[in-house]
Structure 1
Amino acid sequence: MNVNEPMLPPVRGLVDREGRLVQADQRLMDLNIRAGGGIGQPIAIPQIANLARLAQRLGILVSRGVVAADGDDDVELWVRAEPEKAGVRLMITGWRSRAAWYPEAAQGEREGDFLRSAGDWSWETDSALRITFLSISAGAKHGFDSASMLGQPLTRLFALGEDQEGSFPILGGLAMHQRFDGQNATIRATGRTVRLSATPRTDAAGVFAGFIGAAHMIEDAPLVTPQPEASPEDLTDAFAARLDQALRSPLGRIIANADSINAQSEGPLRQDYADYAADIASAGRHLMGLVDDLVDLQAIERPDFVVAQEPVDMADVARRAAGLLGVRASEAQVRIDKPAPQDMLSATGEFRRALQVLVNLIGNAVRYSPREGMVWIRTERENGIAAVIVADQGKGIALEDQARIFEKFERVDPREPGGSGLGLYIARKLARAMGGDVTVDSAPGQGARFVFTLPYRD
């Protein structure tokens, strides 16, 4: 097959959770058969199989160009792998055949090859700085298990440090999507000092898709005491502040431009390109949410953090939070049953922080509710306590996981699409700072019931 066919309709398929190709359009089915596979068998095209596994492990959409063997030729494919309940949904475009040997590598890939050759070991991330590749296979030498790091934030592996000018080179590289060098870091598991460098890579549409990087071991640096495993993601105040400054503005531009492309405001556009723009905007919003969470985390963990003590109508706050999430609930086909307009429940706290807690709790309830499901919001008063209950019809939370979900960067199932793992930690810290609490009552298959309390105010 030596014909370029980039304008043909997208080719679709489905890989189940065990990695078997269970549905496929004819072109994908034929390619898979030529690779030695078949329907109902593990997908035989390694590049697509790897992307499907990565998407399922991270719980996010992964969109990337790959080159697969097809007889005596290679075929270039743009593969979009999106996890869902049944497995990973595939959409393949840009089907293009070429000679098996390709003399010119992309500039970013060439620079990545130079970095790999110069470093002691190499790493790669996606655009959200989640680790997608580590070149080392054994953890004994470096003090960590490389397999367990895949899909984790880069900051779970490294504690990043300032350079001599008080800057973080990685932030400049991330904000400008350019190469960075000389990022000081320590391996959290051992305290060994390393220096990181990386070059950006882009997808077929020229959009930033992550970093190809190298780690240079600093042999003569003194070992420091390893950081405790219980809190491996603690970031310094300086890092969080610079992260906010470096990312908020460019992320805002990326989201606005991607939304504009998706809306086709400048004229008609191929639908798959418009869909890619929607994916970019969604990823940008996810990153913006992470930045917001990190800024909040920095604030609430300062020793001088205080909240206002003012009159708060918990029923009114609950109605406002439900209103803010109305569009998201509608898109998810979930109905929110909020307190009646005449309901009131006086409490003492800070209005802005109480709203933040309830937006998090109701947002989680919407996210984990089934389609056509419902989220109930009720208010109660008992023995000097004002409470808002948020209940959903999701799959529930096992007893052994109910304490863990309130810890930093923890989620019940990291493979599921979701937030940063900071929301519930921040919500409980805010509630307790106001003299209240956030608790959960749940069981598998019975949904979840989160209770946000504040002191009652006469």
Structure 2
Amino acid sequence: MTATAAYFARARTDGRDWLVEADEPLAGLQLRSGGELPGIVATPALLEMVRKARRYGLKLARAIRAQDGREQVTAWVEIEPEADGEGCTIGIANWHATALPPADAAMADARRVAIERQVAEMSVRLGPDQQVIAVECDSEELEGIAARLRASRGERWTDLIQLDLDDGPGEPLDWRLLDGTRISIPGSSRHWKAVLLPLGPRPEKAGFELLLVADEPPAEQPPVAAKAEPRTIFDAAMGREIAPVLRQPIARIIANAETIRTQLAGPVAEEYSKYAADIATAGEHLLALIDDLTDLEVVESDTFDTAPDTIDLADVARRAAGILGVRAQERAIEIHAPGEDDSIPAVGEFRRVLQILLNLLGNALRYAPEGSHVRLIVERNDGRAQVTVADQGPGLSADQQAKVFEKFERLGRSGDGGSGLGLYISRRLARAMAGELSVESTPGEGARFTLDLPSFEERRTKPR
């Protein structure tokens, strides 16, 4: 190793890759990164170099980057294994430390929203006046509240759920004051809060999403007794037993990984933050797969049916655009939704139509190039109500269009976490509502997926 004077700081590790001696500022970085002195090297890039040098008996030299909760550091590091092979000496030069930039408030808020959605055990779609529109519940503890909300569609949710507010009944509160409010759930020993999320920049027109989030995970359930009869691959086990058991722990894993990634619980090295991001992404993909398999079980059941009602297809399209607006902004993609004055009455189940449009729009955002446009076009055609999702992506060949609605078909794509079930399920849902889902595309010119449903006029004039 070169002369001592050439180094800004020196350090030494032992055969366990513990940092046993260190000059400042490396000693301070070790402690601020959550390590101890003596203790295992806490900077991932430095630890990797130390392990390689010790195991292979090689002298290594390169620049590394690290960060703690305050600074981002770059330095030139030279590591030389000791003759006995039990440790290494470290020399550091060209140490540069710069203050970390302040966190972006908008991105931090988007991450908070993503975490809340993952751990929520009930989601309620609300209208502009916070009236109940649709309810999704994943918790047995909340089934009573969910049933009450479903039976009271059109009423304000604050009239149906007990809020732990100091003030008594009075004028309706602004949604910002209701966000984070503690609520009481009869029969539940856990502590709950209401998370109120505006849909789009103008919630007074687009509405809100209400999430019920618990501070504690649910109590462990007793094991389910084995059944004597054999099961087929997609029987009721996925929906009734496996999916609810898996969904909550996976959501907690995602939430904890996001907490680490965003350093909400304290500073971590940049490499650890990236690892946590990979864990969160993998968890989200697994959760989406569970949802797809559950939906697959439902739509392939012999008893599956929908609950058609009169809906406004333009309104559903605007809601889908509002829900995925943040994802579009992250990729600089502009969504052109129907205008507030557009209205296309149709016959379908609101929840299922929204599910189809979220799938189509999510696919468009995933595969369209950054900086492009995605359009949601509503129209009447031959007495039918139609909504088309048109993107500027790579498009589909004739062979791909023939396969795109098949089960588990991903058209050769890999690495995007998709299950190949979304479009298959969406077409099954469309046909269950006496509708159709089709695609038109030319390679290099994007794709147009069209959902066709009976119009309100068609239902009214159809003989019974």
TM-score of the pair, normalised by structure 1: 0.52
2-side partners of 1:389 and 1:281: how far apart? 32
CA contact (8 A) 2:52 2:58 kept: no
CA contact (8 A) 1:67 1:74 kept: no
CA contact (8 A) 1:406 1:428 kept: yes
1-side partners of 2:53 and 2:384: how far apart? 62
Query: Cα deviation per residue 1:43-81 (whole Å; 9 max; x = unaligned)?
Result: xxxxxxxxxxxxxxxxxxxxxxx9999866799xxxxxx
CA contact (8 A) 1:357 1:427 kept: yes
2-side partners of 1:300 and 1:8: how far apart? 50
Query: Cα deviation per residue 1:251-304 (whole Å; 9 max; x = unaligned)?
Result: 111111111112212222112212221221121111111111111111111111
SS at match of 2:374: strand
CA contact (8 A) 2:238 2:293 kept: no
Q: Partner residue of 1:382?
A: 381
2-side partners of 1:412 and 1:259: how far apart? 31
2-side partners of 1:71 and 1:342: how far apart? 70
**In the superposition, relative to structure 1, how do residues 165 and 234 fare at CA in structure 2: closer, same or farther (>3 Å)?**
closer
Q: Partner residue of 1:285?
A: 284
**In the superposition, relative to structure 1, how do residues 10 and 369 fare at CA in structure 2: closer, same or farther (>3 Å)?**
farther
Q: Partner residue of 1:441?
A: 440
Q: Partner residue of 2:257?
A: 258
1-side partners of 2:52 and 2:350: how far apart? 54
Q: Partner residue of 2:369?
A: 370
The sequence identity of aligned pairs, in percent, is 45
- The residue correspondences of 1:243-322 to structure 2 (distance < 5 A) are 243-322=242-321
- Paired amino acid for 1:166: A
CA contact (8 A) 1:345 1:381 kept: yes
2-side partners of 1:414 and 1:424: how far apart? 14
SS at match of 1:318: helix
Q: How many residues align?
A: 264
Alpha-carbon distance, 1:10 to partner? 5.2
Alpha-carbon distance, 1:454 to partner? 0.4
**In the superposition, relative to structure 1, how do residues 382 and 268 fare at CA in structure 2: closer, same or farther (>3 Å)?**
same
Q: Which has the larger radius of gyration?
A: 2
SS at match of 1:388: strand
User: Which segments of structure 1 move beyond 4 Å, counting only runs of 4 or more?
Assistant: 1-11, 66-75, 95-99
**In the superposition, relative to structure 1, how do residues 256 and 416 fare at CA in structure 2: closer, same or farther (>3 Å)?**
closer
Query: Cα deviation per residue 1:159-193 (whole Å; 9 max; x = unaligned)?
Result: xxxx995279xxxxxxxxxxxxxxx99xxxxxxxx
**In the superposition, relative to structure 1, how do residues 417 and 431 fare at CA in structure 2: closer, same or farther (>3 Å)?**
same
Pairwise CA RMSD:
3.8
1-side partners of 2:435 and 2:336: how far apart? 24
2-side partners of 1:357 and 1:96: how far apart? 57
- Paired amino acid for 1:380: E
2-side partners of 1:425 and 1:262: how far apart? 34
Alpha-carbon distance, 1:416 to partner? 4.4
2-side partners of 1:255 and 1:272: how far apart? 18
CA contact (8 A) 1:408 1:425 kept: yes
Alpha-carbon distance, 1:9 to partner? 7.7
2-side partners of 1:356 and 1:308: how far apart? 14
Q: Partner residue of 1:125?
A: none
**In the superposition, relative to structure 1, how do residues 268 and 294 fare at CA in structure 2: closer, same or farther (>3 Å)?**
same
SS at match of 1:412: coil
- Paired amino acid for 1:443: T
Match among 221, 226, 230 for residue 166 of structure 1: 226
2-side partners of 1:238 and 1:96: how far apart? 55
Q: Partner residue of 1:180?
A: none
2-side partners of 1:97 and 1:286: how far apart? 42
- The residue correspondences of 1:197-208 to structure 2 (distance < 5 A) are none
Q: Partner residue of 2:177?
A: none
TM-score of the pair, normalised by structure 2: 0.51
CA contact (8 A) 2:44 2:271 kept: no
CA contact (8 A) 1:397 1:412 kept: no
CA contact (8 A) 1:244 1:295 kept: yes
